[in-house]
Amino acid sequence: MRRNPYQRPDHKTVEAKKRGFPARSVYKLDEIDRRVRLLRQGQRVLDLGAAPGSWSMYVAPKIGGRGHLLAVDRNPLEISLPAWATFVQGDALSLTNEALSMFAPYDVVLSDMAPDTTGNRFTDQTRSFDLFMRALAVAEKLLAPGGTFVGKIFMGEDFPLARAEVKRLFTSERLIRPEGTRPVSYEIFVVGEGRKAALAPPPPAPVEAAPVVVPVAPASTAKVEAKAAKKAAPRKKSASQTKAPSPQDGQDGQEEAVRARRREVSTW
């Protein structure tokens, strides 16, 4: 039966055990920390998939008592944590927001989560991508502006999508494959630095006033009503009809009366 290469102890595993760390993964975080200057005193750190505890054990003294560490895993830790560190046992991606955000906003979100490998590379890569994206979604919600995300992923056909999402959320993105990574492994760490501030929601669209509809009578009805109104209105007299009588008018009338009288006399 072929042995799982991940279960073979190597010099890194032996060395980690001698230093009191439960797993060799501590050397990966140590290299990432040195390359990006990840951890500092007073930071708040969220460690997703913390068991067996090597990363949490490394982080705790780096951030000191002025900081706080929240470690989450469905499996128990094999280490003891200092007073400024808290462990919550449960599925890191199924816990309520209240449980994960008890010390938020965080300066750093770490995810060393990996799926239970099946030996089928495509299946393992797909599951790893899903874990990575869900951890990134947690970081998107809980990281402070300017914060850093470190997540492990198995490189596969979805890898470019993961990188694109990190670039969308952070001002810079880099890939780190630590020297402590086993040669047979296709894992890599994606580091997002400088969490972008959440964009303000767009202002609501202006509400347009409903148009005022003025009822208009049909053309035929309007014409009939206009004609009826015209007939009902009193007719105005013309200027000639309403002209006041002048003295000339009276004189002309008198002359006509005289001529008529003369005609009557001539007939007698």
pLDDT tens for 146-197 read 999 999 999 999 999 999 999 999 999 999 999 878 778 899 999 999 999 8
Per-residue pLDDT at 222 exceeds 60? no
Average pLDDT of the segment spanning 87-95 = 91
Peptide bond before 52: cis, by omega within 30 degrees of 0? yes
| Residue 51 CB-half CA count within 13 A | 13
- Of 1-10, 111-120, 136-145, 160-169, the range with the lowest mean pLDDT is 1-10
How crowded is residue 92: how many other Cβ atoms within 10 Å of its Cβ? 23
Cα(41)–Cα(123) distance, integer angstroms: 39
Please report the pLDDT score of residue 268 as a whole number. 40
> Does the annotation count 152 as an active-site position?
yes
Looking at residue 20, what is its pLDDT?
A: 85
Comparing 126 with 198, the larger pLDDT belongs to 126
> Would you state the pLDDT for residue 265?
39
Question: Residue 130 has which token pair?
Answer: 């899903």
pLDDT, residue 3, reads 47
pLDDT grade for 1, boundaries at 50, 70 and 90: very low
With a CB cutoff of 8 Å and minimum separation 6, the contacts of 205 are none
**pLDDT score for 225:** 58
Label residue 42 by pLDDT band (50, 70, 90): very high
pLDDT, the chain, mean: 83
- What six digits make up the tokens of 155? 């490189």
Domains of the chain: 5-195 (3.40.50.150)
Terminal-to-terminal C-alpha distance of the chain: 166
Q: Is 20 left (phi over 0), alpha (psi -120 to 50) or beta?
A: left
On the question of pLDDT at 101 being above 70, the answer is yes
Catalytic pick among 28, 141, 152, 231: 152
pLDDT for res 182: 79
Q: What's residue 14's pLDDT?
A: 87
